[in-house]
Structure formats: C-alpha cells, structure tokens
Structure 1
Amino acid sequence: MYVRKILLRLHLILGLGTGLLFFVIALSGALYTWEPEYSRLAYHQTVEARDRPMISISDIRQSLEKTFPEGDFRTALYRNRESSIEVLLYAPGTYYLAQLNPYSAELIHLQDMNKGWINYLKKLHRNLLLGELGREIVHWVTLLAIPLVVSGLIIWWPAKGRPSRDTFFLKATASAKKRNYDLHSVLGFYVSWVLIFALITGIYWGFSPVKETIKLLSGENNIEWEIPRSQVPARPVENDGILDQLIADYRNTFPNSEVRIGVPHGEEDPIHLSVIDPGKGLTAINHYYHDQYSGERIEGVFRNGLSSEISTFNAINGMVYEIHFGSILGLPGRILVCIAALIAASLPITGLLIWLDKGKRK
C-alpha cells in the first residue's frame, strides 16, 4: 500500500506539472497524423491525368527560371499521373516546395515551408513554437510521460485481486463524477499500450545518447560507408540532358513507384535518384547514384543504398517515424494513433477534474 501511495503521488505531481504541455503536444500530434492529406489539399497536389508524356527536368528548370528565378533547384519528385511534380527549392533563410503541372510545367502552387498552418502545426508538436527551448521542453515532457503512463497502469490495477469486468468498460448510467473517472481510468488503460510506443520513439529523437547507444549496439559505427562521387572531366559537360534521360529511364523502369531525382551542385556530386514504393515505408526506399557527367551508375557501400542492403540502425531509424505516427500499419495504424493521441490529450483534463473533486471533498 505504501508503494501504491507513492505512485499515486508521483502520478499526481507529474500530471499536474506537465498536463497542459502534454495536452498541446498530444493534440497537435493527433492532428499532424494527417499531414499527407492536408498537404495534398493545401498545396494543390491533385491534377487531371492526361494521355501525354510528363515534363522533363529541362522543362522544370525553364519554368522555374521564369516564375521563381531566385529559387535554387534541388530535387524533383515525380509521383503518379494524378499528382503534381513536387520541386524542392532553396532560398536564403528558408526553402520552398513548388507544385508543377506534370504535363505543362505550369507552376500550380509555391509554398514557403517556414510558413503556413501545416508548418506551424508541425512546429507546435515538435517545439511548441518556441524554437530550440521548446524542443527541449517537448523532449523532457515526453520523457516524464513514461513514468506517468506506467504509474497510471499500476494504479489502474486493483490493490487486491484482479480487475473486474467493470474496469474495462465505460458506464453510461453512472454519475457525472464516475463517468469522468472512467474516462480517465478506462480510456487511459487502453490508450497506454499505443501511447508507450509514441513516447519511446519521441525519446529516440529527443535524446542523442539513446540514438548513439542503438548505433553502438547495432554495429553501425563499425561500418565504413563510401561516398558516391562523380568523376570530374577535363572539360565542362552540360548535365541537363543526362538528368532528362535518367528520369525518363527510371520512370519507365519503375512505373508504379514515385521517383525523386536530385540535381547535383558540387563538381563531384552524383545524381541521386530515390525510388519510393507508396505505402511500403521509409525502409523500402531504394537509392541509386549516377555520375553527373557520364550518366553511368555509381556502385558501392553507401549509407543510403538499396533497401535490401539497409543496415540495422538505418532500418530502426526509418521505422521510428513510422511507429510514431502509426504509418507502419498503413491507414489503420494512423487512425489508431490519431484516436490514441486524442484520448491522451483528454487525460490531463479528466485527471485535473478528479483532483479538483477530491480537493472539494476534503
């Protein structure tokens, strides 16, 4: 009983101390689960499919030189025939995502990725809109939420015997106080099993010693990665023709995949192509490299290479994001995480009401 009282006190102190921040983090996380759908609507990524070839890298460059010449063209993402081509552009102090019509190269939408409500929602979840200070606060709230959840599970278990059937269900006919207690206790029990994974993955991002430990245990530090480089010729060579040919070849070779092509900027930079299978996750992405002058494929042991050759650490690193937002289980997983995060956001409110009610009775 003494240990139970300590856990009750711990649960109360952690809940009152982090409740408001936890509410904001959980609610923003639940909303951000649907970022791909928000972006598709807000950034006008849907286009009418046409029976004609998609534009080339040269077409993209010409269009951007007219509409946004100050942007530094970095990558182009070719998706399906009903989606715009998404171009990454660097600019002083920020970066942009430009959506281009895949058949006419018309600029459909240009988004400063440091502005807009989707970006603010992401920052609210990651740093409470407070920059690096907010990021540290989020990390520590995430860490403290683990003993909060664990202590809640232990408190949920009866002091004597096993849980009765009633502890697993909400009772609509109970009093208002009892319903509020059940909302905190019963829903808290169910959501804990999902929430614990979101918290652990959040700690992975927030505390570098965690990531470094996994690197050490997985043997990542013992792997000697090669760096893909282009062979610089004696005379300058225009590489737009090579870029056009490569993106056409890859789209023909992988017709059911999305293909991202990176435009080299340094003399030794390779042309980087990523083949993405929608719905298969970050660990299923295949990375290819080509010499920017000759177009020949560059092979070697690269940190980002073929998915079949991915290292243990890189596989874990990719899965962390998918687990955090539930995408590892596809749409059902995202729905589950969203619901769990919404319930988690309600727990500080129901918990506060329970504490206030006990204070009144005392």
Structure 2
Amino acid sequence: MSIRKILAKIHLIIGLGTGILFSVVALSGALYTWEPEVSRIIYQHEVEKQSKPFVPVTALINTMKQAFPEGDFRTALYRDQESSIEVLLYVPGTYYLAQINPYTAELIHLQDMKQGWLNHLKNLHRNLLLGDIGREIVHWVTLLALPMLISGLVLWWPIRGWPKKEKFYIKWSVSPKKLNYDLHNILGFYATWILIFSVVTGLFWGFEIVKDISKEISGENEISYETPTSKISTTNQTSDSNEILNSLIKKYHSEFSNSQVRIGIPHRKDEAIHLSVIDPNKGINAVDHFYHDRYSGEPIQGEFLNGLSNERSTFNLINGMVYDIHLGGIMGLPGRILVFLASLIGASLPITGFIFWLSKNKNGQKTI
C-alpha cells in the first residue's frame, strides 16, 4: 500500500471518528473569537463620555459593599473614557464582573461569569460542557486533528506535477456532488494553514508535557522568581492604604492614558499592590506589571514572574504568543477574522467530508 493510500485511510478514520466533536469545537471557537465585542454589548461596557475625572478605587469599593456585599473585591480595570470600570469579585464557587460608571461609581451591570450563554459557549469550546472529562476529550480531539489536517494537505497535492489553477478556486455552477467535493478540498486547503496554528497552540494548553518540555528547553526551570511583598506595619493604616490605592490608580491611569490599568486590592498583610498596564491594541506580551508596598506606596523592585514586558522570560514570551496566536489576536482584528473564517470552514470539513465518503459508498466504491 502506497504512502498516499495510508494517509487517505488515516484522514478518513480520524475524520469519521472525531468529525462531529471537531465540528463542535471549531464552531464554538469561531463564535467565541468575537467575545470582546459581544461582552461589550451584553455586559454593558459602553458609557457616555464626560469631562470629569474617574472615581477613585474607594468609591468602587463602597458601591460594591452596598450593592453586592457578599462579593470579595479583587481588582478594578480602568479603561478609556467611553468604557465602564470593570471590577472582579470572588464568591465561593464562582466569580463576578461588575461594570461601574467611571464618573459616578454607579453599578451598571453585575454578571456571574459561570452563567450566561457566552460562558456556556466558552465551556462548549473547552470541555463540551462535560467538565473535566470533556476537557480531556477536547484535548485528544485536538491532538488527532493535527495528523488529519496534515494528511489533508498532502492529499490535496496532485499525484503528479504541480497543482493546476482549478485546485485553488471553487466553481459554483458544477453538480452538487462536485461542489461538495470542492468545498471540502479547496476551502480545506486554505483553512488548514491557519487551523494548524490553532491546533498546535491548543496542544500547548491541553497537555502539560508540552509545557514541561518548553520550560526545560527554554531554561524556565532554572529561574528563581521572587514574590513582591509589603513590609508589614504594626499600626492600623486602613485609611492611609485606601489613599495609596486612590493615588496609584490616578497616577498610572494618567501616565498611561492610552492604556488600560488594572489594580489589585491586597488581601494578605504582606501582599503588594499589583498594577497591570495593558495596551488594548497589543497582546499579552505587551502587558507591564508593577508592584507597590501597600503601606508606603513605594515601588517594589525584583525579578518577578509577572514583570515588565521587555524582561519576560523566553517561556513566558512563548506562553503569551500561544494565547494570542490561538485567538488570532497576534495580528489584531485581521488575525481574529482569519481565525474566525478558518474555524468556520474547519467546522464544515467533517460534514462535507462525510457527504463525500457517503456518496462514494453509494456508488459502490470501497473507501475503508
């Protein structure tokens, strides 16, 4: 049996065995590509711009104490002048995101992030709504998708010579059977080049051994990170600490006016104030992290796991790139559009492939 026939059988067996699951994962992933835009609408991020300063952190804390006292206030994300301030709150078993008016501290929207159709869509992509078992299934479907995609590319290439121009575009006036074949063969060719990157990055998340090998090769395991800590004060400085939070967010949001700034509220006595400066037009690798003593407000220096973007380790650079590549964010909006279209096509490939296999069987041709 020739290598080409072996690849054809591999392509067919994997496609028939995992096709439905791959379609579900690909389709849900395609739809979830637009999570930032959808979240802005359904979680009511939009606010009317006003010519007044943003409210301090303490105003946000007071708002949530009255509106949602059971929530453990964790972080506040200050964005642009037409966006709400987003507050993260922990509750046993789940977490909430609150959208607060940056000019009045009025609560606009409160969302349990483990509820709602957008969260279900995310979990459908990650674990087929089946929890840990589903997560393992998705990981293995992702792994099997790699040889299926690569074998499809090999099969697309003609047995002899170079591909003719007919291999690159679809003729819509042909018979339904030929059209179905072209939708599978030609669209699959274009989408596979993008899907391979989505699959490989999915494997990085899905299998710990991939991360472990990456850490070993990059030297990450040899790095000893420090933990940013505050010098514990013996006096009660609650009011001073609040003022430090307010002054820091004001300083950073003013200094980095074109960026988003997230401030973390310390809970442990020795915990530092954590500020993240996020450029919304760039990926995870562009995020800068800063730390300040919760009692004095003084900056804390050191070699931290999350530090300045230009000091990230090789592994952390790879880890950030994996996230951005998987979602297409590494190329901005055009990249997300490409991932969206490729994933939509990917979701259709098992369907068109099954129809093609079924039609061959009806014609009496042995395919497996």
Question: Taking structure 2 as the reference length, what is the TM-score of the superposition?
Answer: 0.97
Alpha-carbon distance in 1 for matches of 2:104, 2:9: 64
Q: Which amino acid aligns with 2:47?
A: V
Deviations 1:125-181 (A, max 9, x none): 000000000000000000000000011111111122222221111112211111110
Partner of 1:313: 315
Partner of 1:252: 254
Structure 1 residue 279 corresponds to structure 2 residue 262: no
Runs ≥4 in structure 1, deviation > 6 angstroms? none
- Secondary structure at 2:197 match in 1: helix
Alpha-carbon distance in 2 for matches of 1:233, 1:190: 61
- Secondary structure at 2:325 match in 1: helix
Q: Which amino acid aligns with 2:274?
A: H
Partner of 1:359: 361
Partner of 1:45: 45
Alpha-carbon offset, residue 64 of structure 1: 0.8
Partner of 1:87: 87
Partner of 1:185: 185
Q: Name stretches of at least 5 consecutive residues in structure 2 with no aligned partner.
A: none
Partner of 1:4: 4
Partner of 1:157: 157
Partner of 2:117: 117
Alpha-carbon offset, residue 278 of structure 1: 1.3
Count of matched residue pairs: 362
Q: Which amino acid aligns with 1:185?
A: N
Alpha-carbon distance in 1 for matches of 2:217, 2:29: 30
Alpha-carbon distance in 1 for matches of 2:322, 2:291: 26
Residue pairs, 1:49-68, within 5 angstroms:
49-68=49-68
Q: Name stretches of at least 5 consecutive residues in structure 1 with no aligned partner.
A: none
Deviations 1:37-57 (A, max 9, x none): 010000000000111111111
| Aligned sequence identity (%) | 61
- Secondary structure at 2:277 match in 1: strand
Q: Which amino acid aligns with 1:322?
A: D
Partner of 2:199: 199
Residue pairs, 1:137-156, within 5 angstroms:
137-156=137-156
Partner of 1:337: 339
Pick the aligned partner of 1:295 from 294, 297, 301.
297
Structure 1 residue 350 corresponds to structure 2 residue 352: yes
Partner of 1:243: 245
The root-mean-square deviation of aligned C-alpha atoms, in Å, is 0.8
Q: Which amino acid aligns with 1:89?
A: L
Alpha-carbon distance in 2 for matches of 1:336, 1:131: 29
Partner of 2:174: 174
Q: Which amino acid aligns with 1:22?
A: F
Alpha-carbon distance in 1 for matches of 2:311, 2:167: 47
Alpha-carbon distance in 2 for matches of 1:172, 1:326: 30
Alpha-carbon distance in 2 for matches of 1:268, 1:283: 27
Structure 1 residue 127 corresponds to structure 2 residue 131: no
- Secondary structure at 2:109 match in 1: strand
